A and B are shown apart, each in its own frame.
Chain A
């Protein structure tokens, strides 16, 4: 673009900041602060959000988690008292256990089901759009809707259990939402129904990004299809798997609406999750300190997932 190499007098040198070409002769340098003034003004909402809400809010919560705030936030520091109390509360332990069970199973199943569906969809099938539409539509629905539908389907009086019993298998029991021991699996079924379509879509995009020649080469070498998938395609899709993993994982920590709609945390506290614990302590139990401590633990859980990923993804290179 030789046309642009000589600058007309109308454009000030500072104006074209995004371009790499810097004019050699610099006349009068305008005040740095007022450079790009409109852009700076336009970015005020972003800067405020990033600094005040995201950074400030997080720091605020972490700081107040070391206080004994009850009804109102107060700055009376009590050290790690809130955390000690938190980890001595059975309800918190139940919710952590639930999160772990739900999280691990949901990760495994979403990845496996999502990948299998994507692999099936990638076989140059007919009606691909129809199938995609069917697999993905639950993702458009809210967790509330998802939870309520599955609450109804898993209803032991009218739902799956009663249908199977009416077919003749009278001792059949499947009542996850009313059984403390397996309630979290009931939630898992609903969550998988809602979320696997997204994983399928991401995986399918990844599969489509793989060079056709890889497949041809594998065929020439006589490698069976499942081995090609397992040992060639999946390792090649590592970035897709990693991003999917991060997306699923950050969704898992947040799980809240689904539990509220499907079981309200019940029976008893059997299906409680950290997000619900936080909400209840902040807005019902009027025990803000506990809520802050619990939410800080959630933050820590996310950090454990995100930091290694960010390090691996962006650590080597300078820019993200």
Chain B
């Protein structure tokens, strides 16, 4: 209350308040029983969630002799990066021994076009549904949303047939198409809800000025909806990168994405199990979504919340 001299001049009422003694809630002590319980519980939970990441990092930095002797929670005595090199460049899947790098580049080749294609399709769909509703549009949209709940197992075989007919079964482009199809429900919903929330007057004004479907999309809607595009991108990058089922069903071994290759490396029955290499490989596969997650922060939360709560 160092400003009280000024207050005495300006506001006599404030003086009365000051004379009446301290007011309001008593400040909580920093260490109270409640806080110890609260932060204790949160800390314990945080420990449980962090433990696997810690174990992964620690194991991947140890040599095999140390792993056989010590326990998995102890920090490495001698830090070695050899497991990482081996996981990236030498680990074997079947006959190929060029490590996870092959899967990584496959995943990149799958992810980039899939993300672009699925977002392009879904944003236009969402825009059409929000602003250009035609008869029957809502029916198709409902089918799409209900379809999001159908187990993939029900639809994969018909999709295999469709892709075979198109002549792209087993290729990267086939998988890209599959990702675009199954990303459509959630992304369309996301974009539709966003475009609906934009003021309608904007759209009307553009119509009066004579802009058409694509003109309004590219010159008004697109520049206004960058945040939602970022959210959609986060959603798709992590989703497609982490996919396993579609990768294993719709591609041939030379095109396997990283997750499939990782599983094949770690769960292969031949040879001696090299746990440190396995954990390095696991970390490498998890690196991309983890980086996306840590960089995007709140947007990631917003993405899953938007996708989940409104679904």
Which residues of A does B touch, CB under 8 Å? Answer: 1, 4, 7-8, 10-11, 15-19, 32, 35-36, 38-40, 42-43, 45-47, 49-58, 60-61, 73, 117, 120-121, 123, 125, 129, 131-146, 148-153, 155, 158-159, 162-163, 166, 193, 197-198, 201-202, 205, 240, 243-244, 246-247, 250, 253-254, 256-257, 260-261, 264, 274-275, 278-279, 282-283, 288, 291-292, 294-296, 298-299, 302, 306, 310, 320
Chain A residues contacting B135 (CB-CB under 8 Å) are: 32
Residues of A near B128 (CB, < 8 A) are 39, 42-43, 46
Contacts of B162 in A (CB 8 A): 52-53
A202-B308 contact in complex given A18-B133, A158-B71, C-beta closer than 8 Å: yes
A146 vs B56: C-alpha distance when bound (angstroms):
11
Distance between Cα atoms of A113 and B54 in the complex (Å): 22
Known contacts A42-B127, A140-B286, A158-B71; 11 additional CB pairs below 8 A are A1-B201, A43-B134, A46-B140, A54-B150, A117-B45, A135-B45, A137-B53, A140-B238, A145-B286, A148-B282, A279-B249
Beyond A149-B56, A163-B73, is A243–B293 a contact (Cβ under 8 Å)? no
Task: For the complex, give the distance between the alpha carbons of A159 and B149 in Å.
Answer: 37
CA distance A45 to B278 in the complex (A): 41
B38 interface contact, C-beta 8 A: yes
Whether B49 and A144, one on each chain, are in contact in the complex, defined by CB atoms closer than 8 angstroms, is no
Known: A18-B132, A51-B140, A158-B72. Contact between A202 and B305, CB under 8 A? yes
* Chain B contacts with A in 200-225, Cβ cutoff 8 A: 200-201, 203-205, 207-208, 210, 212-214
Q: In the complex, A57 Cα to B163 Cα: how many Å?
A: 12
Instruction: Specify which chain A residues have a CB less than 8 angstroms from the CB of B242 in the assembled complex.
Output: 141-145
* Residue in A120, A256, A299 whose beta carbon sits within 8 Å of that of B245 in the complex: A256
Interface residues of B (CB under 8 A from A): 38-39, 41-42, 45-46, 48-53, 55-56, 59, 67-68, 71-73, 121, 124-125, 127-135, 137, 140-144, 146-147, 149-159, 161-162, 180-181, 184, 188, 200-201, 203-205, 207-208, 210, 212-214, 238, 241-245, 249, 259, 262-263, 266-267, 275, 278-279, 282, 285-286, 289-290, 292-294, 297-298, 300-301, 304-305, 308-309, 311
| Centre residue among A39, A54, A55, A202 by max chain B CB count within 10 A | A54
Cα A53 to Cα B146 with chains together (Å): 12
Docked complex Cα distance between A7 and B181 (Å) = 40
Which residues of chain A are within 8 angstroms of B154 by Cβ–Cβ distance? 57-58, 61, 295-296, 298-299
CA distance A253 to B148 in the complex (A): 13
Q: Are A134 and B262 in contact (CB under 8 A)?
A: no
Q: Can you offer 12 A-B residue contacts whose CB atoms are under 8 A? A: A32-B135, A39-B213, A42-B125, A46-B140, A47-B140, A120-B38, A142-B285, A153-B52, A166-B71, A261-B267, A278-B153, A295-B153
- CB–CB B200/A43 < 8 A: no
**Pair B158/A53 contact, Cβ less than 8 Å:** yes
A243 — which chain B residues lie within 8 A by C-beta?
A: 308-309, 311
Verify A320–B142 contact, CB threshold 8 A. yes
Residues of B within 8 A of A38 (CB): 132, 212-214
Q: A17-B134, A278-B153 are in contact. Are A125 and B38 (CB under 8 A)?
A: yes
Give, as a whole number of angstroms, the nearest-CB distance from B178 to chain A: 9
Q: Would A205 and B290 be within 8 Å (CB), given that A54-B144, A125-B39, A131-B42 are in contact?
A: no
Smallest beta-carbon distance A295→chain B, Å? 4
> Within the assembled complex, what's the spacing in Å between the Cα atoms of A198 and B302?
11
Across the interface, do B71 and A193 meet the contact criterion of CB distance under 8 Å? no
| Chain B, interface SS category | helix
CA distance A115 to B72 in the complex (A): 31
Partner of B301, one of A7, A136, A292: A136
With beta carbons under 8 angstroms apart, the residue of B121, B141, B293 that contacts A140 is: B293
> Is B208 a contact partner of A11 (Cβ separation < 8 A)?
yes
Question: With a CB–CB cut-off of 8 A, which chain A residues contact B241?
Answer: 142
B285 touches A144 (CB 8 A): yes
**Complex contact B72–A11 (CB within 8 A):** no
Q: Give CA–CA (A8, B238) in the complex, Å.
A: 47
- B205 CB contacts on chain A under 8 angstroms: 4
Measured CB to CB, the closest approach of chain A to B261, in angstroms, equals: 10
Whether B72 and A140, one on each chain, are in contact in the complex, defined by CB atoms closer than 8 angstroms, is: no
* A308–B73 alpha-carbon span in the complex (Å): 46
| Least CB distance, B251 to chain A, in whole angstroms | 13
Expressed in whole angstroms, the Cα–Cα distance for A121 and B263 within the complex equals 35
Chain A residues with CB under 8 Å of B200's CB are: 18-19
B41 touches A120 (CB 8 A): yes
